[in-house]
Structure 1
Amino acid sequence: MSYFSRLTDIVTCNLTHLLNNAEDPVTEIEQIISEMKEGIAGANRSVKTASSNEQTIQQELSDYERQIFQWKEAAKNALALGDETEARNSLVRKQEVEDLKAGLEQQHQAAVATCEHLTTTLHALEARLAEARRKQLELTEQAGLSETSSQNPPHATDAESPMTLSRSEQIDSELAELKRELGQ
């Protein structure tokens, strides 16, 4: 049985409700966690792709900036040599590149927004997985299945994603700030 058809299903699911209706909650939470891990792996790939796309567009924008500068310099040089026709042609080319850049800037804004949205979704998925792992630990303790939990510890993390490490660093920073506020 598949619990989740979309990533948003993971974020919006009510674990308690799902598990209360299950015949074997311990087995069900293992299945749920497995599906969540698959969802997170997919979300990680999506974030990586979106970030790569955003960086590619940013590089293209930088290339256009260089071209704009070069065409402007070419126009100045042509004028300095008294060739107004060549200066005009250089400015026409500069304007063409500026138009291309303007269109690409809109694509860049969309790519940034997509990357931010996917990263936010990834963090929500990671939070939901952490909740499921806590629930798994609770269920295994209630069922007295310490052998199961020691073979497959619910808190054991898979290869941590760069996003997870980033979150860990954010938490460490926030913890240090709270300690400073409390004078510790």
Structure 2
Amino acid sequence: MSIMSRLKDIVRANLNDLISKAEDPEKSLNLFIEDASEHVREFSVEMNRFEAERIMVQDRIKQTEKATSEWHTKAALALTQSKEDLARKALENEQKEKSRLEELSTELVNMNQTSEQLKEQYRLLQDKLQEAKEKRDDLIRRARLAKAQQGATESLSGVSKADPFAKFDRMQDIVERREAEAKASYQAMTGTLSYEMDQLKRDGLTSEVDDALAKLKAEMDASKTTS
């Protein structure tokens, strides 16, 4: 898979599927970014290697241009010395250098175009990688939030199934029931005591009435005797 296609995969919408498919979305996203970053670095190395070759071609062109000029000078010098054979030989070498120069120049033109394309592609790769990192950060944030929300929901679900506060409600019912039982017992006890006290009062009143009646009878008997 090419570097561009890998990075396109990173920034496509279906990257969201990684959240649901991966056991650890954060780890998977980071590994994905590391993989893409490594491919961008490899691309940079290859681009720099190509740039070095292009610079070498430039240097060879300069050397060839210099050699062409030198052979031309040597041919002219040979003619001034009436050495036509040497002049011809120098001109042959000059033509060879010119041919080589033409080939190198054509090669350099193509390499310059390729160099610009590589640089542009590298800039696009860096932009894509940066975009992927930003999307990675956003997805990690969303994954953490979703995990927190899921944990909260599960916690609430657990509370609803086994409500710990229900124990307090049950204890309150028990305490209130025992309070009612104690109150009923107390009322029953105090009711019995009240009855007994009332009975004692009634017994005492009867005794007093009996004493008063006996006293009254005695007074009446005494009155009859006196008459």
Q: TM-score, normalised by structure 1?
A: 0.69
Would the alpha carbon gap of residues 93 and 108 (structure 1) be closer, same or farther in structure 2, given more than 3 Å must change?
Answer: same
Relative to its length, the structure with more helix (as a share) is 2
Structure index of larger Rg: 2
Return the alpha-carbon distance in structure 2 between the equivalents of residues 53 and 6 of structure 1.
23
Task: Give the partner amino acid of 1:55.
Answer: I
Query: Equivalent residue for 2:53?
Result: 53
Task: Give the partner amino acid of 2:11.
Answer: L
Task: Give the partner amino acid of 2:98.
Answer: E
Alignment map for 1:93-104 (pairs within 5 Å):
93-104=93-104
Among the aligned pairs, what percent are the same residue?
20
Would the alpha carbon gap of residues 41 and 47 (structure 1) be closer, same or farther in structure 2, given more than 3 Å must change?
Answer: same
Kept in 1, the 8 Å contact 2:71–2:91? The answer is yes
Give how far 1:144 is off: 4.0
Alignment map for 1:6-17 (pairs within 5 Å):
6-13=2-9, 15-17=11-13
Alignment map for 1:157-172 (pairs within 5 Å):
none
Deviation track 1:26-78 (CA, whole Å, cap 9, x = no partner) reads 33321221121111111111111010000111111111011001001001111
Query: Equivalent residue for 1:124?
Result: 124
Kept in 1, the 8 Å contact 2:7–2:129? The answer is no
Q: TM-score, normalised by structure 2?
A: 0.57
Q: Of 16, 21, 28, which residue of structure 2 is paired with 1:20?
A: 16
Q: Structure 1: which 4+ aligned runs deviate by more than 6 Å?
A: none
* Corresponding pairs, count: 141
Q: Secondary structure at the match of 1:82?
A: coil
Kept in 2, the 8 Å contact 1:58–1:108? The answer is yes
Deviation track 1:79-112 (CA, whole Å, cap 9, x = no partner) reads 2222222212211110011111111222222222
* Unpaired runs of at least 5, structure 2: 146-227
Alignment map for 1:119-158 (pairs within 5 Å):
119-144=119-144
* Unpaired runs of at least 5, structure 1: 146-184
Return the alpha-carbon distance in structure 2 between the equivalents of residues 111 and 117 of structure 1.
10
Task: Give the partner amino acid of 1:64.
Answer: T
